[in-house]
Structure 1
């Protein structure tokens, strides 16, 4: 695992994290125009991955693909507060010698972006052609445009809105309560995330928001196996799978950070290109487009899909060309500098 150290980081809360590290993946040729890719809630830094273990956006990023690693270098960080190598609740607190666990401080989306800005400077990257990400990653892309307009030429936030909706906060609250009221949670000092039935339930509730009702109906068709609806079995599997691979305290940290997202009153001067997806319950286009119209340099597309919010993770053939064209339009002036 590759990491970069950024030293101490002062958070918006004024708390200070020491010995901060961010795990990252870097693909493409060093010195090429740089694209920062930002993952979603339970993602990680392996957007591209390997031939044996393809990353979550391997269909979008690579040689000759929409994000062409023959043209760009692509950096993806595991988010601050995550559990795949970056400083988070599972990390050792240098002041105590023990894992942070429940004592890890609350974060905001801006804290995450500031950490990544510091990490990029440590990696010798002084400018970004674009920041690209969906969902939580889209929140970060918007904050990049707000916080560092001179550092980035354009932002491509996908499946996101300028502020996290009350509907989204409501589902986050269901998840938070499911985890924190689990009898084995122990105030965040649980033995193993996989033991927390509340964590599984939190994931199940979230899964219902990620795809359209039509897609659920088309896939499961009220079918049963051994007396259980197949959709119930699917949700059980997804809940157990996440609880085994992700840390519950990290999940809580990131949910609470998502709730802080709000750039709705900000003016973002950098070029914005965004994609919204039909049937996205959490980030509907009708909450995004009016705000985009108020920005000085924004454009967008709405992608027709039954996948709803998860549209930014699939069906690249429908929308990858939009990303490719926008990145190419941004890189031409970059190459002429």
Structure 2
């Protein structure tokens, strides 16, 4: 299945030269544009299973609609908010479900490998096509946080503020291991058929991949307290946590394209801010924007200890940097919930001159 979003806005950026040297023709980037049309621009970068609908509407609320909106932490009365679907995604941007102009068929598994850097280059081109040459802030968590960090290095003068959340300067081996399980589950499913599955195919491997991911997104304590070993009635012994994971896996497999998921997993796996730059510490020398970094306690994929180490190195080179560790039982998913615990930091940094004031 695909996650195509109907009636989405798109901008054409032409041919994109990828990091691997290949050229991707006729690239389109899907986007959502909300808020004050004359206000300063804030760019939102979405996570792995997200899309460009971060704000949405009353009928179709976005994934960050409790964080972004009129009089919220990112106030759309004041700011113009643009969210871009990543290159390789399946919600309107060019990706595996797009038509390859050279074959007039969907790319499928033939879609080229893309990196986080490729995503950011495509976003830069898209924003320039929209008439934007500088923005107030770039914000995102997880895969979105990777994009934020790359923005700081690739286009150091494009934004005033960077707010990376739930991210570290490289993808750890522990996180790689979980992605490896998900990838293996998808590719081992006979229905995946080397990426040549027909439209509408429900790939069980996608369900398993999503189930594995869900276990890493939240903390042990939250799972234990939520399900409390509760059993479901029936002949076979099944626990509520079984039912929850299976339901979420099935739901996800119906809305997200498997080839796109594999492309994005690979982009995450390859992420290393310091790759071919002399290490991530040296890469920080190019970052000129103010930075407020948020990590979340219990995050298995992007440990706060590494995020804090990243901040300390950044602080040596950029005095206008701050770090917040949010205490939460939601673990990695903390950047999607409990806005009352950390949203004010974002609001403060957007409205005040010094980044250190975001800690107030």
Same fold (TM > 0.5):
yes
Q: Is the 8 A contact 1:193 1:199 kept in 2?
A: no
**Cα distance, 1:31–1:186 mapped onto 2, change above 3 Å:** same
SS at match of 1:37: strand
Q: Measure the CA separation in 1 of the matches of 2:21 and 2:36.
A: 37
SS at match of 2:352: helix
Q: Does residue 44 of structure 1 match 2:51? A: yes
**Cα distance, 1:69–1:214 mapped onto 2, change above 3 Å:** same
Q: Does residue 291 of structure 1 match 2:314? A: no
* Matching of residues 125-136 of structure 1 within 5 Å: 125-136=132-143
Q: Is the 8 A contact 1:223 1:230 kept in 2?
A: yes
Q: Is the 8 A contact 2:191 2:201 kept in 1?
A: no
Task: Note the alpha carbon deviations across 1:194-230, whole angstroms, 9 max, x for none.
Answer: 5211111011001000000100011000001123100
* Matching of residues 162-201 of structure 1 within 5 Å: 162-192=169-199, 194-201=201-208
* Matching of residues 1-337 of structure 1 within 5 Å: 1-192=8-199, 194-226=201-233, 227-263=237-273, 264-265=280-281, 266-267=283-284, 268-295=287-314, 296=318, 297-329=320-352
Q: Which residue of 2 aligns with 1:335?
A: none
SS at match of 2:175: helix
Q: Is the 8 A contact 1:33 1:331 kept in 2?
A: no
Q: Is the 8 A contact 2:157 2:288 kept in 1?
A: no
Q: Measure the CA separation in 1 of the matches of 2:166 and 2:353.
A: 21
SS at match of 1:51: coil
Task: Note the alpha carbon deviations across 1:167-195, whole angstroms, 9 max, x for none.
Answer: 11111111111111111111101124652
Q: Measure the CA separation in 1 of the matches of 2:219 and 2:195.
A: 33
Q: Is the 8 A contact 1:164 1:260 kept in 2?
A: yes
Q: Is the 8 A contact 2:297 2:331 kept in 1?
A: yes
* Range with bigger deviation, 243-252 or 285-294: 285-294
TM-score (norm 1): 0.96
Q: Measure the CA separation in 1 of the matches of 2:321 and 2:177.
A: 29
Q: Measure the CA separation in 2 of the matches of 1:82 and 1:222.
A: 36
Task: Note the alpha carbon deviations across 1:65-124, whole angstroms, 9 max, x for none.
Answer: 111111110000111100011100000000100000000000100000000000000000
Moved beyond 3 Å, runs of 4+ = none
Q: Is the 8 A contact 2:217 2:331 kept in 1?
A: yes
TM-score (norm 2): 0.90
Shift of 1:161: 0.5
Alignment root-mean-square deviation, CA: 1.3
Task: Note the alpha carbon deviations across 1:246-283, whole angstroms, 9 max, x for none.
Answer: 00000000000011111124112321101111110001
Task: Note the alpha carbon deviations across 1:2-42, whole angstroms, 9 max, x for none.
Answer: 11100010000011111100111001122321100011001
Shift of 1:330: 5.4
Q: Is the 8 A contact 2:211 2:248 kept in 1?
A: yes
Mark the runs of 5 or more structure 1 residues left unpaired by the alignment: 333-337
